[in-house]
Structure 1
Amino acid sequence: MSFIDASRSIERQRFFDGQRLLASDLQSIEAFNREMRWLHNQSLHQPGIGAGFTVSGRKGDRQVLVGAGYAIDDLGHEIVLTSGRTLPVPPVAGDLDGRPQRYVLTVRYPRDEDLEEVELREGACDTRGAVRLREEPIFCWVALNPDGSPAQDQAEILSGRALVLTEIAVRECKLDKDLSLAQRRNARPPTQPHIACGVADPTHWDEWAPWGGRVEAALRGLYVLVGGVQAKIPTGSGEFLATPAYFARLDGSRLFKIPDGDGSRQVILDGLLSVVDPTPAGFTAQVLVLAFATPSGGSDEIRDGGAEPPNLRELLGQWQVGWMGVEG
Structure 2
Amino acid sequence: MKPYTPITASLLAILWLCAFPINALAAPRACVATDFTAFLQAFSQSLDVQRQASTGRVFSTTVEVAGDSAQPRVRVLHGDELALPMMPAIADSGMTGVEVQRIDPRHVRVDDKRAGNEAIKAYLFEYAECWTLVAMEDWSVDERRLTLSGRPDMSRAEEICYLKSGIFQGLGGVERYPPTTEFFEAALQNKLCAAASGNPQASLEAVSLGFSGMAPALSAELNEKLLTRAAETLPVAAALLARFYCNGTDDTRDGPCLDPARAEAMLIKSVKMGGWETLPMLASHYEQGDLQGRDLSRALACYQLAREKGVEGYVDSVQRLRDQGAVPGAACY
Query: If the length of structure 2 is used for normalisation, what is the TM-score?
Result: 0.25
Which structure has more strand as a fraction of its residues? 1
- Give the TM-score normalised by structure 1: 0.26
The structure showing larger relative contact order (alpha-carbon pairs under 8 Å, at least 6 residues apart) is: 1
